[in-house]
Amino acid sequence: MRKYFFNFLIILLSANLLNSQNLDSLYVSRIHDTILSKFLNQKRNIEIQLPRTYNVELEKKYPLIIVLDGDYMFNMVAGSVDYLSYWGDIPENLVVGLNQKDTRFKDTSVFDNLTHTPITSTASFYDFIVNELIPYISKNFRISAFKVIVGQERTANFANFFLLKQNPVFRGVISISPRMSNNMNSYLTQQLSKTNSKITYTLSTSKKDFESIYKNVSDLKNSLDSIENKNLKFEALIFEKENHYILPSLSIPSSIRATYSLYSDIDKIEYDSILSKLDTSPVDYLKNKYQLIMDFYDEDKKISINDFMAVEEYIEENEYFDLYDNLSKLAFEEYPETILPSYYKGRFFEETGNPQKAMHIYRSSYNMNEVEGLTKDYLLELAERIKEDFNY
């Protein structure tokens, strides 16, 4: 049977271009602010990057990314977030950087000699983030329940402590070349193996990193890879040639993409490796994909036209035309005022032996709104083809 739609990979590119065009006239804005901390007994400088749509989507709440070592890491994280969200690979995020140029060690590396957990100034810095910084951001900006913290070396190790709580305030941690404190590997393995919270943990190092860090991260990778917990989404990125200081420039964008790997539209890799090999309903796969996006990222993402077309591609390739009926129902839930539900309903009747009904459905959709890649004229063309083929 001839495929009536464009190849979905071409449409994926078009969908990404449309997303970028929607953001093209909007610009990121940055705010410099100061927080007076009672826990630290001093002022702390922060830098905030707002999402492009922040002053347009006035009801929307955005995931929060806290960047430790903000004095040199903030621009890399903020730039990567803006770029990746511009193309629709990740949701827009509100990014906050903490300047630690003169306080890095006392903020993140003062530990108890027995338990190797934060004490004195490091415990105070932990309390500052949980009890002052996040409440301040929550009060003054629209943020969602999903929060990510990013660090390198000492601050990366410090970020791990947030995951050791039963209900962690950060459910996403990006740990770049961490200089692990004693017991941290076992603490993390034990906690993440039993966590009931939806956690994304991204770990990175390089074969050219400091030898002790590379070995420790490799050991932790092996431990976490063995965990079977559907609440944990773990990925380790092992680079080849980057030294300790160059590593963040490559790891940051890759780690952000890994953190949000469930979010992006179905691409050729996902289609070939997962969707095309399903032995269950691809419509159910699509529903589950978007439920996981909500569960992990607190993002109520509308099912993209691209992902509808990926399922359509599957149905056409495998000639499972009965599935068009379920796909039409899902399209009606997501795009009720458009021609998309009618298109799939028409395809269902056309391919299952009722072309006359398909013709009427195609024609009746003329008063509905179009969607990208699918026009009213095209549906009328389908109806006209049926009329000519069957002499209706």
pLDDT in tens, 31-40: 999 999 999 9
Strand ranges in 68-159 using DSSP code E only, listed in sequence order: 94-98, 143-152
Flag whether pLDDT at 329 surpasses 90: yes
Among positive and negative, which fits the CA dihedral 99, 104, 110, 111?
A: positive
Residue 295: half-sphere exposure toward Cβ, Cα within 13 Å: 15
Indicate whether 16 pLDDT > 60. Answer: no
Q: 21-259 — its CATH code? A: 3.40.50.1820
Q: Is the dihedral of CA 280, 313, 274, 264 positive or negative?
A: negative
As a CATH number, domain 268-390 is 1.25.40.10
Contact, 92 vs 62, CB < 8 A?
A: yes
Rounded to whole angstroms, how far apart are CA atoms 238 and 203? Answer: 8
Within the chain, strands assigned E span: 29-37, 42-50, 62-67, 94-98, 143-152, 172-176, 199-208, 232-243
β-partners of residue 199 are 232
pLDDT in tens, 202-244: 999 999 999 999 999 999 999 999 999 999 999 999 999 999 9
pLDDT band with cut points at 50, 70 and 90 for residue 190: very high
Residue recorded with tokens 């458009």:
338
* Residue showing tokens 């990925």: 235
Domain ranges of the chain: 21-259, 268-390
> What was the pLDDT predicted at 25?
66
Q: Are 360 and 390 in contact (CB under 8 A)?
A: no
What pLDDT, on the 0 to 100 scale, is given for residue 391? 77
239-245: Cβ within 8 A, 24+ apart: 239/204, 239/205, 239/206, 239/207, 239/208, 240/206, 240/207, 240/208, 241/206, 241/207, 241/208, 242/206, 242/208, 242/209, 243/206, 243/208, 243/209, 244/153, 244/177, 244/206, 244/208, 244/209, 244/210, 244/213
Give the pLDDT band (50/70/90) at residue 196: very high
SS3 274: coil
Percent with pLDDT over 90 in the chain: 90
Residue 312, token pair as written in the block: 């359509």
Query: What does the alpha-carbon distance between residue 339 and residue 359 come to, in Å, rounded to a whole number?
Result: 14
pLDDT at 20: 55
Q: Which residue has the higher pLDDT, 133 or 387?
A: 133
At 44-85, the pLDDT tens digits run 999 999 999 999 999 999 999 999 999 999 999 999 999 999
Please, what is the average pLDDT of the chain? 93
Report how far residue 63's alpha carbon sits from residue 225's, in angstroms, rounded to the nearest whole number.
Answer: 26
148: which DSSP letter? E
Give CA angle at 41 (38, 42), nearest 5°.
Answer: 110
d(CA 153, CA 109): 10
The pLDDT > 70 percentage for the chain reads 94
